[in-house]
Amino acid sequence: MLHKLDKVNAIIVTSAIIYLGITTNVNPAQAVTLSLSNPGFETTVQTNEPIPGAGFFDFETPSGWSLYDPNNLVPEDASLATSFTGGWNPSESFFATVPEGEQIASIFLVPPGAGEVGFTQNSGVIIQPKTQYTLSVAVANTPAIPGSEVFDGFPGYRLELLAGNTVISADDNNVVINEGEFQEASVSYNSSSDDVYLGQELGIRLINLNLDNGSGLDNGNGIEVNFDNVRLDATSVTESTSILGLLFITGLVFCPLKNRK
């Protein structure tokens, strides 16, 4: 009797291994790049040079983006004397190259510690179940002006993913960015099958934290953060494992073993 049970157990265990090998494969996940408005800040084309030698820039929120300014730091008539945002085609004295295209975005804030400002955009994407959404951005620490410490230091950044008006994931200044460098930063959100945010529109924000952190040689904060090459990807991964099948096989394996006692 025991010999027969051993054979039965061997057959069941072998079947279970084959079953698991077939049904627990994860379908290959392919990231889909979602469409964003003006992700490289190439619109509007910059033609004015308010500071000779700095490159072309303006004092307007880049096309396709909205201003996020909870503390009203950026006036309607923004200028070099105030906080401002805008597009920038930097001269080589600031950046020899930029990550994408020719232009980048700037958020210049004074005084340090007065509050954060950013750019926000509704993606038009509705949050789906079992999907990973990833926002990737090239973030820059604006280089100091030669002979000056105006931009020395870094005021910090934050990237946010939103469901409607709710922040669901953020990269809060996690990447170290040296003076005059662009670094890749990203933040992800993984939705579940019964996620509370299903059906809501996905939004993104790029923020200058304007921290009064004394990170510069003059104990300033660097004032400005630059952004470029904004990407939003969605990746869906579906597992084909049958939970009921696993429970069924588990029961078959353990029931004969139990009968041996």
Shared domain for 77 and 172, answered yes or no, is: yes
Is 160 found in the same domain as 225? yes
The CATH number given to whatever domain includes residue 208 is 2.60.120.260
Q: Check the CA dihedral 106-142-99-94 and report its sign.
A: positive
Q: Count CA within 13 A, CB hemisphere, residue 62.
A: 30
Domain that holds residue 253: 2-25+241-259
**Tokens 């820059």, residue located:** 140
- What is the predicted pLDDT for the residue at 144? 82
Provide the 3-class DSSP secondary structure of residue 259: helix
- Please check whether residues 19 and 72 belong to one and the same domain: no
Q: What is the pLDDT of residues 83-130, one digit of tens each?
A: 999 999 999 999 999 999 999 999 999 999 999 999 999 999 999 999
Same domain, 162 and 194: yes
| pTM for this model (two decimals) | 0.81
Same domain, residue pair 180 and 255: no
Would you state the pLDDT for residue 33?
97
Structure tokens at 205: 């924000």
With a cut of 50, list the residues of the chain below it in pLDDT: 2, 4-5, 8, 10-26, 240-261
Query: Looking at the 3D structure of the chain, how many domains does it have?
Result: 2
Residues 201 and 105 in one domain: yes
- pLDDT in the model for residue 135: 99
**pLDDT for residue 13:** 42
- Amino acid present at 240: S
Note the pLDDT of residue 34. Answer: 98
